[in-house]
């Protein structure tokens, strides 16, 4: 008790001023496009995807920027499109996946799920200053700088692999690893792309004990990054995510996708990498046509860590 009194002073001391209320944040006054759940003010769209739209928003209660994912649903059914029920189930599945991975490295944090207009909205961490791996590589190519160096590619791959491994450990397969789903952002260290975040778990699924939201024989994912077993209707597994990681890293270090467009499927082997150097062997292993011939997480993690350290990219 004495220690408390010494730290905070005598409760009867009239010379101790009460704490001042924090100044109101100017952003809390808007204007907003709309306010969701009487708490999240939508500022502007910052991204779109197959399931919906992502907004930069402001949490009026905690006074911080957040990202809010809106599930876009048509009022009329369109042949070939998912029903509102399926899209809603996917949104909830994504929220559950992110919540299950809340302690995992390199995964965007989910803060809340709210309902508006009868549909769920996912409230997530807003990664300030982020750009996608796809945009970074394409900008370098336009500027004549070439794709990413080997060490930087290995560093990004190591981060994404850690995120995937955390999901695989609890039975979550991402199913859509690609350059546009990887965010690169500053972290205060001076490196503009120091932070690596894997996003968009909208089509992730658990390997057992869940109901599919994809429909019968529906191929889910992005052409060019799908593993062969997914492309031909098989189930996605951790090995499928590793294939997509290999395709993504190939794009990062080579500046192009490994498989020719318009081939009607994957050729027997990817185009040999020309710029990957010591990373080439890992890429070739990850892009094996059979999931049985792809390496395990541990072997890939060790090699990517070695390359990151050897090149000073860590």
Q: What is the pLDDT of residues 1-26, one digit of tens each?
A: 444 334 444 444 444 454 444 444 54
Tell me whether residue 178 is annotated as binding: no
26-125 maps to CATH 3.40.50.720:
no
At 170, is the pLDDT very low, low, confident or very high (cuts 50, 70, 90)? confident
The pLDDT, as a whole number, for residue 81 is 61
Q: Any bridge partners for residue 25, and if so which? A: none
Contact 137, 275 (CB under 8 A): no
The token pair that represents 57 in the structure block:
């928003």
- In the chain, CATH 1.10.510.10 covers 131-311
For 241-290, write each residue's pLDDT tens digit.
999 999 999 999 999 999 865 444 555 578 889 999 999 999 999 999 99
Closest-CA residue to 121 (of 43, 217, 52, 174): 52
CA-CA distances (angstroms) from residue 258 to 137, 263, 290?
A: 15, 12, 16
- The domain 131-311: what is its CATH number? 1.10.510.10
At 213, is the pLDDT very low, low, confident or very high (cuts 50, 70, 90)? very low
CA atoms in the 13 A half-sphere facing the CB of 268: 0
- The SS3 assignment for 129 reads coil
Beta strand 64-71 with 52-59: parallel, antiparallel or unpaired?
antiparallel
Residues that are catalytic = 176
Contact 90, 202 (CB under 8 A): yes
The token pair that represents 142 in the structure block:
């336009």
Q: What are phi and psi of 44, to 5 degrees?
A: -165, 150
Q: What residue has token string 């390199």?
A: 106
Contacts 24+ apart (CB under 8 A), 205-210: 205/93, 205/172, 205/173, 205/175, 205/236, 206/171, 206/172, 206/173, 207/171, 207/172, 207/173, 207/237, 207/238, 208/171, 209/171, 210/93
- In the chain, CATH 3.30.200.20 covers 26-125
The C-alpha atoms of residue 311 and residue 302 are separated, in whole angstroms, by: 14
Buried b / exposed e across 187-212, counting CB within 10 Å, b at 16+? eeeeeebebbbbbbbbbbbbeeeeee
For 188-205, write each residue's pLDDT tens digit.
888 989 999 998 876 666
- Considering only the C-alpha atoms of the chain, give the largest distance between any 2 of them, rounded to a whole number of Å: 82
For 83-107, write each residue's pLDDT tens digit.
667 766 766 776 777 777 877 889 9
Closest-CA residue to 183 (of 126, 112, 98): 126
Specify which of 41-55, 132-146, 162-176 reaches the highest per-range mean pLDDT.
132-146
């Amino acid at each position: 008790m004495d220690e408390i009194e010494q730290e905070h002073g005598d409760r009867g001391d009239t010379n101790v001023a009460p704490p001042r209320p924090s100044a109101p944040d100017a952003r809390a006054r808007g204007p907003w496009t709309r306010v969701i759940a009487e708490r999240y003010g939508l500022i502007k769209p910052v991204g779109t995807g197959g399931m919906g739209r992502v907004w930069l928003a402001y949490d009026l209660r905690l006074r911080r920027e957040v990202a809010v994912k809106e599930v876009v649903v048509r009022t009329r059914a369109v042949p070939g499109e998912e029903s509102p029920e399926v899209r809603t189930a996917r949104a909830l599945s994504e929220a559950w996946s992110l919540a299950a991975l809340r302690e995992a490295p390199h995964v965007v944090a989910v803060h809340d799920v709210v309902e508006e207009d009868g549909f769920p909205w996912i409230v997530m961490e807003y990664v300030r200053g982020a750009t996608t791996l796809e945009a970074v590589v394409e900008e370098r190519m336009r500027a004549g700088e070439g794709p990413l160096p080997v060490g930087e590619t290995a560093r990004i791959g190591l981060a994404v692999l850690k995120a995937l491994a955390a999901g695989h450990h609890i039975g979550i397969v991402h199913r859509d690893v690609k350059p546009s789903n990887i965010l690169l952002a500053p972290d205060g260290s001076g490196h503009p792309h120091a932070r690596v975040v894997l996003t968009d778990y909208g089509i992730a699924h658990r390997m057992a004990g869940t109901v599919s939201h994809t429909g019968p024989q529906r191929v889910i994912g992005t052409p060019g990054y799908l593993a062969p077993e997914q492309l031909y209707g098989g189930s996605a597994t951790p090995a499928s995510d590793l294939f997509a990681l290999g395709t993504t890293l190939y794009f990062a270090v080579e500046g192009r996708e490994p498989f020719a467009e318009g081939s009607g499927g994957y050729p027997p082997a990817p185009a040999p990498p020309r710029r990957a150097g010591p990373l080439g062997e890992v890429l070739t292993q990850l892009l094996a046509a059979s999931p049985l011939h792809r390496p395990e997480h541990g072997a890939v993690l060790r090699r990517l860590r070695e390359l990151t350290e050897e090149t000073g990219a860590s």
